[in-house]
């Protein structure tokens, strides 16, 4: 039998016409953004249970198990405290340096782990992607959820540290919730963008540690934020100072410090910081989502 005999001649229709008449859709067609969002919403249980499964399987083999969720941030804080608080004592300009440092480290860590895991969200799950059909954005979103869960434990640890170093418990602490939400949206967008980039260019994974380190040093995590405005070079170029101080992580960290601590030097007034935080969350959250969606059909290619 030859190929032409195979092309269905029952009705004498061209194949494309036959497909149209029976309402078949072309494989690999990108769904519209609203349709994709609806689809993603109907997979919310999958996202939640996948996130759960990831945590369990990551910590399942360790002896201390879920205790690591609390131990990791504690050890992290201890390391930075020893180096920057005791050995180098960079505390100049900040009254209560330990809570100041820990807030910065914890908030930064949140975004850092999301980016690190996000880069591999697609490339590390090709087996799953090639086997089952689900909206691919589920994967970076699940990764963000894992880190959000880890962050609950970190926040509890952080609050105890802050209280332990003599900061009072005030109503301003309630602001932690909206800050946390904004940063989570920002992180989700970042995870999706990183996932697509990482699936296209495997080299990105090698660069992420360096990018995150530059970001860490540029976000006033380890030193007082006033170092920027007192820097002569930055003072000479006002725009450069704006760019440095618009850094989204610096904004989130500053806001969190402002909420948890009494006397903290800030990069800008709280009002400006809030507007910047909302702006960053919207732009990166939505932008990352749209960017990820545009690549939806190519993720199985590997």
Partner 1 sequence: MADQREPTVIVDDAHVVYRVHQAGTAGTGSPLASFKRIVTGTKPATLREVHAIKGVSFVAYKGEAIGLIGTNGSGKSTLLRAIAGLLPVEKGAIYAAGQPSLLGVNAALMNDLPGERNVVLGCLAMGMSPAQVKSQVKEIIDFSGINERGDFSSLPMRTYSSGMAARLRFSIAAAKKHDVLLIDEALATGDAKFRKRSEQRVRDLRAEAGTVFLVSHSEQSIRDTCERCIWLESGLIRADGPTEEVLKQYESFVKK
Q: Does 297 bind partner 1 (CB under 8 A)?
A: yes
Q: How far is the CB of 58 from partner 1 (least distance, A)?
A: 8
Residues 6 or more apart whose CB falls under 8 angstroms from that of 104 comprise 219, 220, 221, 222, 253, 257
Specify the DSSP class assigned to residue 31: P
Q: Report DSSP state, residue 30.
A: P
Contacts of 143 (CB under 8 A, 6+ apart): 51, 54, 114, 117, 118, 121, 191
Among 32, 61, 87, 210, binds partner 1 (CB under 8 A): 61
- In this structure, what DSSP letter does residue 223 have? S
Q: Look at the block and give the residue holding tokens 């932690």.
A: 176
Q: Which is nearer to partner 1, 23 or 34 (CB)?
A: 23
With CB under 8 A as the rule, give the number of residues binding partner 1. Answer: 45
- Figure out which of the listed residues 49, 170, 230, 231 binds partner 1, where binding follows CB under 8 A: 49
* Residue 137 or 216 having the CB closest to partner 1: 137
- Does 232 engage in binding with partner 1 (CB under 8 A)? no
> Any idea which residue has 């769904």 for tokens?
31
Smallest gap from Cβ 16 to partner 1, in A, equals 6
57 near partner 1, judged by CB under 8 A:
yes
Question: Judging by beta carbons within 10 Å of its beta carbon (0-12, 13-18, 19+), is residue 270 exposed, middle or buried?
Answer: middle
Cβ of residue 240: shortest distance to partner 1, in angstroms? 32
Binding site for partner 1 (CB under 8 A): 1, 3, 5-8, 10-11, 15-16, 18-19, 22-28, 42-43, 45-46, 49-50, 53-54, 56-57, 60-61, 125, 127-134, 202, 297-298, 300-301
């Amino acid at each position: 039998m030859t190929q032409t005999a195979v092309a269905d001649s029952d009705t004498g229709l061209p194949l494309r016409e036959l497909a149209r008449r029976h309402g078949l859709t072309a494989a690999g067609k990108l769904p519209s953004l609203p349709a994709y969002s609806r689809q993603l919403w109907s997979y919310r249980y999958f996202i939640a249970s996948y996130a759960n499964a990831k945590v369990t399987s990551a910590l399942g083999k360790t002896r201390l198990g879920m205790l690591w969720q609390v131990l990791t941030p504690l050890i992290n804080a201890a390391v930075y405290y020893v180096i920057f608080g005791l050995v180098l004592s960079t505390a100049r300009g900040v009254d209560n340096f330990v809570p100041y440092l820990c807030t910065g480290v914890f908030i930064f860590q949140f975004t850092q782990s999301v980016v690190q895991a996000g880069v591999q969200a697609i490339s590390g799950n090709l087996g799953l992607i090639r086997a089952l059909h689900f909206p691919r954005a589920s994967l970076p979103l699940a990764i963000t959820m894992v880190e959000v869960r880890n962050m609950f434990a970190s926040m509890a640890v952080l609050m105890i540290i802050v209280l332990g170093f003599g900061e009072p418990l005030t109503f301003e602490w309630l602001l932690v919730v909206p800050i946390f939400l904004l940063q989570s949206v920002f992180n989700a967008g970042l995870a999706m963008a990183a996932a697509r980039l990482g699936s296209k260019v495997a080299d990105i994974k090698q660069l992420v540690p360096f990018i995150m380190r530059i970001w860490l040093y540029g976000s006033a995590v380890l030193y007082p934020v006033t170092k920027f405005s007192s820097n002569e070079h930055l003072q000479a170029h006002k725009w450069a100072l704006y760019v440095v101080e618009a850094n989204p992580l610096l904004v989130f960290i500053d806001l969190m410090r402002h909420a948890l601590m009494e006397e903290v030097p800030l990069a800008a007034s709280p009002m400006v910081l809030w507007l910047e935080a909302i702006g960053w969350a919207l732009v990166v959250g939505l932008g990352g989502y749209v960017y990820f969606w545009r690549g939806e059909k190519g993720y199985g290619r590997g």
